[in-house]
Structure 1
């Protein structure tokens, strides 16, 4: 009999779980919080979270819902009046026509994205992911047992993937494309003309669907927001995802939604029915008030985000080795930082990757950021600008000083 006492125990965890990576954003936030718990003054620029409070009228609606006893289960795809308000929003802001049975309200835009991927993608089918991408896109595709195909935009084109790149990447196995605009992490915004060219490519490939993440829609510094679903030839193959966390500073409320062709929406509802059912009743009433209140509060926040973007860009232009394009939306900068690779840190360790650099800045400058590896751009780093002006000034002062120590 062989001696089995030294054999490593077999993990009871599923292969699909072991194949997934932890969210790099959440991982860096965890590390930052661990240091903060030790009394270290960490400036957190790793989380994509507005530092504004949810507008008071939205809070008041939630309080009223509690007072009204609105505390019971809701329909899986959302309460009817919220789904109608979302249709009204699409008509008002995007000139898109949807019916309530095409809307599924979820526990955050992240769940809406996951619902769509799990409802559409079969094992072995390819999903083209525009990179740099939000950290969870590839992991969602892996969970669905699809094959993520990363398509990288160039820095010269603000990291935006072109229609020609997309055409060249499509194969008979391609099922879906995924992208965000305004983009997390780069802040790039697709113009109507650029999306029109992408729509022309998709029109030639009727087996390919599109998942358009528009969660940063209102945080746009260059004018009109463009939606891929606007283009008639492909609108029935576009799933549009949005939510309340960014435009209405409602991150903790966990409220998002998707709009899609009715059979796809029904599939997403079916998926959600077996995982979470309907999202929080109080949050839905708050979201209803948010949409009925228009976007004036969002516009006020956007003015602050624009000022902060310009403030940070003015500072980082004096940091050697930070190649930083000007973001057109969202609240991040995404500099190319490979000039600092293969440098020596004061403790003698080598900065080989952007993750090494992120950890160095966390421990030396006490500033938390996210490495570009997580976004499909390993030569870059993401810094959130959704922080108070004085915090941003101090954070990049520390960063500049720490980078100057690298040999």
Structure 2
């Protein structure tokens, strides 16, 4: 028998798998946690880093969840999702689909993970328009795919052009991942712009589309789903959506995917070996959100627009910053290149977007996310899903700090 000393000698440290070795918390989460630590130390930090509405979940949604719990709907739900919820999602999708084409998951992020785990082989390529939500890259690479980022600068409205899409497609391209309205830019594709991208895809039938439309109901111009812009391509399109953003239900963790039945079946099999079905109470809440009163959507959109207009003007009036007006979601993605090369009061130079955001955190107690996290440097993301009073104070702090640069 081995002695204790021999056993300790034989025990080796943990070694992560190759696919997990490069994973870490996103820079968004890291900055939010850093802001929380500074607040715990007594510093008056305002954080605009997280995309989470400050509105409450609508009362009728909470009541539906409470009733479901009291009624004993606390057992395992179907892996694909409760039939009544899938039927409601299909009925209200805005295009023709069947409940069998719907999967309900623990958040829209799991829908994306399921899709890539179900479809990607090592080396398969996914075209992603940059700037992009930080988790896209991590999820794709964890699933052993290869991200093909296509820079979509401010001059193009942060939108992918047909020419750029055509140039990025290879025989290894498996997916095009589109997000409209977009995070972090708030950019939206019109029906004509989506149609132009569809023209390219018709020449490349091996390329499928994931359309992340989670911000569908937070839009300041008419929204068009990719399926409605190109109905003939529906057989190779996965729509991703959910209740988190529009209905202020981030913590309920409930999203869904709508796509071809063969893809959905494979995604259900993948989900069955991770979480199984999404929380039964959250599904009851989501059903109420989807089928119940919708008047809160317009009133909250109006408030988001008011905040957007204030933030855009305040940033545009700040020397060195250039803030385009987003068409949807609740983010702005201004350029901060105009302050590069300037010096802080302590003599240190602002060299890039990360240095600028670090300066604002330490000198102005304002937490923002640098553009490098989203694949398009020279910018920063500010979420205006916060109370107007906080935004007013935060923007005043930013202006004062920028005015100290020389």
Relative to the length of structure 2, the TM-score reads 0.94
1:46-195 correspondence to structure 2 within 5 Å = 46-90=49-93, 94=94, 96-195=95-194
Deviation at 1:145, TM superposition (A): 1.1
Specify every segment of 5 or more residues in structure 2 that has no aligned partner in the other structure, as ranges. Answer: 1-11
Residue deviations 1:94-135, cap 9 Å, x none? 2x1111111111111111111111111110111100111111
Range 183-192 or range 338-347, more displaced: 338-347
Number of aligned positions between the proteins: 394
Distance 1:279 1:167, change over 3 A: same
Match of 2:314 in 1: 315
Deviation at 1:232, TM superposition (A): 2.6
The DSSP-based 3-state class of the residue aligned with 2:394 is: helix
Deviation at 1:11, TM superposition (A): 5.9
Q: Please say if residues 154 and 161 of structure 1, whose CA atoms lie closer than 8 Å, have aligned partners that are also in contact.
A: no
Residue deviations 1:332-360, cap 9 Å, x none? 11001112223322333332221121122
**Would you say 1:26 and 2:24 are equivalent positions?**
no
Match of 2:259 in 1: 260
The DSSP-based 3-state class of the residue aligned with 1:233 is: helix
1:329-348 correspondence to structure 2 within 5 Å = 329-348=328-347
Q: Please say if residues 215 and 328 of structure 2, whose CA atoms lie closer than 8 Å, have aligned partners that are also in contact.
A: yes
In the aligned structure 2, how far is the partner of 1:77 from the partner of 1:343?
A: 54
Distance 1:277 1:244, change over 3 A: same
Match of 1:215 in 2: 214
Q: Please say if residues 27 and 373 of structure 2, whose CA atoms lie closer than 8 Å, have aligned partners that are also in contact.
A: yes
Deviation at 1:143, TM superposition (A): 0.7
Range 290-299 or range 343-352, more displaced: 343-352
Match of 1:197 in 2: 196
In the aligned structure 2, how far is the partner of 1:45 from the partner of 1:242?
A: 23
Range 9-18 or range 258-267, more displaced: 9-18
In the aligned structure 1, how far is the partner of 2:123 from the partner of 2:333?
A: 32
In the aligned structure 2, how far is the partner of 1:344 from the partner of 1:10?
A: 45
Match of 1:228 in 2: 226
Superposition misfits of 4+ residues, deviation over 6 angstroms: none
Match of 2:3 in 1: none
Q: Please say if residues 20 and 142 of structure 1, whose CA atoms lie closer than 8 Å, have aligned partners that are also in contact.
A: no
In the aligned structure 1, how far is the partner of 2:42 from the partner of 2:81?
A: 42
Deviation at 1:19, TM superposition (A): 2.1
The DSSP-based 3-state class of the residue aligned with 2:240 is: strand
The DSSP-based 3-state class of the residue aligned with 2:245 is: coil
Deviation at 1:72, TM superposition (A): 1.1
Residue deviations 1:308-335, cap 9 Å, x none? 1011122122101111111000001100
In the aligned structure 1, how far is the partner of 2:281 from the partner of 2:22?
A: 36
In angstroms, what is the RMSD of aligned CA positions? Answer: 1.3
Match of 1:381 in 2: 380
Residue deviations 1:163-195, cap 9 Å, x none? 111011111111111121000000011000000
Range 395-404 or range 13-22, more displaced: 13-22
Q: Please say if residues 129 and 177 of structure 2, whose CA atoms lie closer than 8 Å, have aligned partners that are also in contact.
A: yes
The DSSP-based 3-state class of the residue aligned with 1:299 is: helix
The DSSP-based 3-state class of the residue aligned with 1:343 is: coil
Distance 1:382 1:398, change over 3 A: same
The DSSP-based 3-state class of the residue aligned with 2:319 is: coil
In the aligned structure 2, how far is the partner of 1:120 from the partner of 1:164?
A: 26
Match of 1:399 in 2: 398
1:9-20 correspondence to structure 2 within 5 Å = 12-20=15-23
In the aligned structure 1, how far is the partner of 2:278 from the partner of 2:17?
A: 27
Range 319-328 or range 339-348, more displaced: 339-348
Q: Please say if residues 229 and 235 of structure 1, whose CA atoms lie closer than 8 Å, have aligned partners that are also in contact.
A: yes
Q: Please say if residues 321 and 339 of structure 2, whose CA atoms lie closer than 8 Å, have aligned partners that are also in contact.
A: no
Specify every segment of 5 or more residues in structure 1 that has no aligned partner in the other structure, as ranges. Answer: 1-8
1:287-298 correspondence to structure 2 within 5 Å = 287-298=286-297
